[in-house]
Chain A
């Protein structure tokens, strides 16, 4: 198809601009009035489209922006906080980790394979746009009740999409989490995280463009897919949302792989001044971003945009969310050098415009001007709402005594717990992900027979040609956030901190992905405000700043909201990967300790939910000072070589943690600790706790004592059984743990 054929002006019939049309684009009456006010006239169809996507919740963060400002975004390791494509932190040796997490919830529910695949593609682009080579992917998935008729197909499609995209691009998928809960029945969550590695002096930003510079389009051709995707992602689902299918983009991981290599090669030269990927709202948001951050104007000749469909109109070109595309501002005169590199990789390269000094976004096509918007008000006057909120209801208290269990019942309950959907092995999922490509994976997912042969509480990926490694993890406990948004927000950060710490790494910074319901409902807004307050408090106390993030609201179907799910993606560093410890028992005869105080908090525990069918009580509270103290102690002991295995205590409590360590190591244990209240001791979900094993117990107890850290000996690693009064074969436990998901998927 020749470009000349495309330039013939097709007959274009655009709808009349009315309030109804604006509303159908997701603009409110007052927002539409503001558009007219900014322009001093009625907008054109193209302009209305641009305003509506730029002012969508997805692009403008209009409901959350006020509250996001309260999060701590600075710290000694932070090079770039929120506001660019991804966060950037200092990891020593002049190197930086570049990372972010992003949701693709709505697209993945409508079209699971492509929705999830393009989620992975989009987040990787955010990272390599900044000059970083992606070195690891993680994903946090939430699905509906396993018995819901759509759940199985969604799991299958989402996992295949992530696998199909990530494996092909050749970036290892090293970690993540998968939960099931009925609140996600009509609205699953797909949160994808990418961590990249860059040299600190080779970081690229959207800012920095000047006047009179060429604007270049690189990557795939533009089609009609994904038009108004950002608007779709900013609305609640009703029934029959399948008709939104055309707003889901289609991914091409092969082109993404070429784009990564081409961009990173081009970035080795000095041709690029500023760069932005075309993600949500496509060419519109990337052009506006570059103009706004550079305080310049942009003129685009849309005739030159590589197109894969005939007779496209400016509105479609500007709103398309076709994947695998980049916008660059080049140093004048370097176009040919850049073209040679891009075309070596068989990608499209086109100069589509230039920058100006008048801060207007002007779009020409077919010899006409279709859009002339002043950029500053488009960005600065974007709506900002202080939406009304009501404080969350105080959680109901529960009476622990009502749920005690005999010693005899303990192991039976353990078996049920490790077979429940949230704790069952996710091997069926992660075996579809290539976690080993690039050859630097130290800890991969799972607890037994993992791909990298070892696993830890966080994934661990070595930095090429160095001994240091990055630890990364994704965490949140939605049932806690629902019961007590403030404490749940704190807990998500604390658990991330703990998982990074449990490998021996030092937690550095986090990205967050805030998944909530409809912010126009005061009770949902109340959840958001409280969860962010909790998150902020925890990040401050743990010196664990937030450097990037994404907000996904309107996660509701027919008025039913999801459990609030503010996912935290944490990154840490360990100076020498050989010092890192995994979660598996490594040897018989090691002493097993629990670090941190066990009070026996049963509210919102998996024990209550899975054994008693009750989702009640308060979330466990996190004492941040204790969290830090215990974390520092654990890390020091690991780096001193005193600890042979370490696992944080989270979902399911102490006994589940011990069982997971035994299964991972295929080594049993004899537990001789006598608890007064067995259920709350063994299944309570108190925070700031770790289970560790050590070959030198006396020294360890002494160290804990002198640091004032609570420390209880539970037993000793031994044999092939887990013995607590009665005995269970570890191999049987593993089988129970491994069976659920494949049986479910194949039934």
Chain B
């Protein structure tokens, strides 16, 4: 599986992502600078975490207009798989490839902690190695991860099985207390309608390699490798 991680000025979790993908797939992803206008051939594109352009404007808003993004959007529309994590997810919603917006955390503070997620739709290229309802523990690290959509859109996400992960407690209960940032319906990650694009706030890439903080992010990357091999 060939993968390409897009690097923006201010991106800072590209190495974490590279390490995780390499660990699971055995192949080193290429890092693509945002000013490039052509992407290498790849099966998976990744928008990684960080603070692109300092997040001085709305998070992800500037990066969504970087030169490389035109190509990323075009390929994604044609079906090349796209994984967008944290700041990448913020860019993704800015492009409109998935619905919704990411608001300030309810606490108005940056939060870095371990959270539990429940895999909701496990029939996708990103989640097929999870059992439905499986609970995984991964960290979050963000200030603006409070996912919001209106009621109609929420219903449509539910009807189309577009919800990837929801915040829950360790027993899989999607309680208010287990929701770290105020996201609507405890949503931590979503798909586009054809499930070829996934955006999520938590960092599965920081829960993969042996020395990292738990290994429960591994099935996510195994799913991708299995699907795209």
Contacts and interface: CB of A to CB of B under 8 A. Distances in A.
A169 B12 contact: yes
Nearest to B109: A432
B111 A432 contact: yes
B182 interface: no
B54 A577 contact: no
B189 interface: no
A449 interface: yes
A426 interface: no
B205 interface: yes
Interface stretch (A439-447, A620-628, A687-695): A439-447
A439 B206 contact: yes
Contact of B10 (A164, A168, A431, A454): A168
Given A170-B13, A440-B211, A433 B54 contact: no
A431 B112 contact: yes
A170 B9 contact: no
A167 B51 CA distance: 8
Contact of A436 (B55, B110, B139): B139
Interface string B107-148: 001111110000000000000000000000001010100000
Interface residues of A, number: 38
Contacts of A434: 110, 112, 141
Nearest to A433: B112
Highest count of chain B CB atoms <10 Å: which of A346, A442, A452: A452
Interface string B26-67: 000000000100000000000001110111100000000000
Contact of A439 (B15, B53, B109, B110): B15
A253 B139 CA distance: 23
Interface string B200-217: 000101100101111000
A451 B113 contact: yes
B9 A254 contact: yes
B19 interface: yes
A252 B54 contact: yes
A431 B12 contact: no
Contacts of B15: 438-439, 464
Given A167-B141, A434-B141, A439-B16, A253 B112 contact: no
A252 B54 CA distance: 8
A449 B114 CA distance: 8
Contact of A257 (B10, B20, B114): B10
Contacts of B141: 167, 434, 436-437
B10 A254 contact: yes
Nearest to A454: B213
Does more than half of chain A's interface fall in helix, strand or loop, or is it mixed?
Answer: loop
Interface in B79-127: 109-114
B113 A431 contact: yes
Given A167-B141, A436-B213, A441-B213, A451 B114 contact: yes
B205 A439 contact: yes
Contacts of B56: 254
B15 to A, nearest CB: 6
Contacts of B206: 436-437, 439
Nearest to B12: A170
A345 interface: yes
A441 B19 CA distance: 14
A435 interface: yes
A324 to B, nearest CB: 11
Nearest to B11: A170
A668 to B, nearest CB: 20
A435 B213 CA distance: 11
A203 interface: no
Contacts of A442: 211
B51 A253 contact: yes
Given A253-B54, A254-B9, A254-B54, A451 B110 contact: no
B209 A439 contact: yes
Contacts of A258: 9-10
A479 interface: no
Interface string A459-473: 000101000000000
A398 interface: no
Contacts of B214: 453
A644 interface: no
Contacts of B10: 168, 254, 257-258
Given A167-B51, A432-B111, A437-B12, 5 more contacts: A436-B206, A436-B213, A438-B16, A444-B213, A451-B112
The 8 residue pairs across chains A and B that have the minimum distance between CB atoms: A170-B12, A254-B54, A439-B16, A168-B51, A434-B141, A452-B213, A434-B112, A453-B213
Interface of B: 9-10, 12-13, 15-16, 19-20, 35, 49-51, 53-56, 109-114, 139, 141, 143, 203, 205-206, 209, 211-214
Interface of A: 160, 163-164, 167-170, 252-255, 257-258, 344-346, 430-442, 444, 449, 451-454, 462, 464, 577
21 contacts: A163-B110, A167-B110, A168-B10, A168-B51, A170-B13, A170-B51, A253-B54, A254-B54, A257-B54, A258-B9, A345-B9, A432-B109, A436-B206, A437-B12, A437-B13, A439-B15, A439-B206, A440-B211, A449-B114, A451-B113, A452-B213
